[in-house]
Amino acid sequence: MKENFVRRTGRPRPVAVAPRPAPPEPGALAAKVRTMAPSMTRSMQRVAETVAGDPAGCAALTVTGLAERTGTSEATVVRTARLLGYPGYRDLRLALAGLAAQQASGAAPAVTADISVDDPMSEVVAKLTQDERQTLADTAGALDLAQLEASVGALVSARRIDVYGTGASSLVAQDLAQKLLRIGLIAHAHADPHLAVTNAVQLRTGDVAVAITHSGRTVDVIEPLQAAFDHGATTIAVTGRPDGEVTQYADHVLTTSTARESELRPAAMSSRTSQLLVVDCLFIGVAQRTYERAAPALHASYEALAHRHSPRER
């Protein structure tokens, strides 16, 4: 083949060699096979049917392979491909691969069942992933943008930021504090409830306190938030229960979402995903608003870490 684009030159040929029966369609191949079948010879029909019946399998075969599988010859395979509207077998094969991919992706089972004790690993991974993705979508959908903006505003102009979280939420709290620190804000995460309260009473108007609790009822987190609230700090609650006790002391409430929980997958686990998304949104919001400071700070912290990596880099 002399570069396959020579075939269809778009410019009118002297004598139309072929009416150009059909453009190589992507998906509706089975239909094409059916309409063309009557005008095909026996061998060609075998090829066409095989191909329509198992696109994925056939896509993996070479001309020779397909010829063998259909008990025909290479020439016949090529002829069939031509008849179906492709320049040659190569292109039919490409279309086949596409079709297979479509079919595969369309057959998304969208598992929603609980993870159970005897699920195989592949199932676990699929379900878990599906759950997390769902949680993210839910969270994003339920996020109150106004509250988010307001929270970002408060953080940006804060003199000092305290973040409270215990248990699983403590990691999220640390994550937020760590990130804010990296772009030059004074942020600290408190896991110890006593220290948290001790620090909370230091906060003043203009400072910000963030409480992260899925249940909305974690006293270890509510107490410091209340202390901060009482001392005039702006308070933000990141919680899965917008009606929880914690919101009583929160100027801004950011609601996180929860996936179904099961025995093997406690609520704490899925709430984390949701909380992290909210926290990331906060962070990026702040980074945007303090871009002048944040950008160099981000670079600086990257540079500072470089020597902690082994030297060999490409």
Partner DNA sequence: ATCTCTTCCGAAAATACGTTTCAGACGTGA
Partner DNA sequence: TCACGTCTGAAACGTATTTTCGGAAGAGAT
Report the C-alpha dihedral over residues 134, 140, 141, 146, rounded to 10 degrees.
Answer: 160
Considering only residues 12 through 41, tell me which ones interact with DNA, judged by CB under 7 A: 41
Binding flags for its own copies, 44-83, as an x/- string (CB under 8 A): ---------------x------------------------
Partnered with residue 235 across adjacent β-strands are 209
Binding flags for DNA, 282-311, as an x/- string (CB under 7 A): ------------------------------
158 binds, among its own copies, DNA, none (CB under 5 to 8 A by kind): none
Q: Answer yes or no whether residue 203 interacts with its own copies by CB under 8 A.
A: no
Partnered with residue 209 across adjacent β-strands are 162, 235
Among 74, 22, 80, 87, smallest CA distance to 51 is for 80
Q: Answer yes or no whether residue 222 interacts with its own copies by CB under 8 A.
A: yes
Encode 63-74: b = buried (16+ Cβ within 10 Å), e = exposed: beebbebbebee
Report, in Å, the least distance between residue 191 CB and its own copies: 10
Q: Which residue in the block uniquely carries the two structure tokens 């001790």?
A: 198
Q: How far apart are CA 122 and CA 91, in angstroms?
A: 34
Q: Answer yes or no whether residue 30 interacts with its own copies by CB under 8 A.
A: no
Report, in Å, the least distance between residue 81 CB and DNA: 6
Q: Answer yes or no whether residue 230 interacts with its own copies by CB under 8 A.
A: no
Binding flags for its own copies, 247-276, as an x/- string (CB under 8 A): ----------------xxxx--x--xx--x
Burial of residue 107, with CB atoms counted within 10 A of its CB: 0-12 exposed, 13-18 middle, 19 or more buried: exposed
Report, in Å, the least distance between residue 50 CB and DNA: 13
Residue 12 or 117 having the CB closest to its own copies: 117
Q: Answer yes or no whether residue 63 interacts with DNA by CB under 7 A.
A: yes
CA distances to 123, 127, 240, 261, 276 from 116, in Å: 9, 10, 25, 12, 26
Q: Which residues bind DNA (CB under 7 A)?
A: 1-4, 41-44, 62-65, 71-79, 81, 87-91, 93, 314
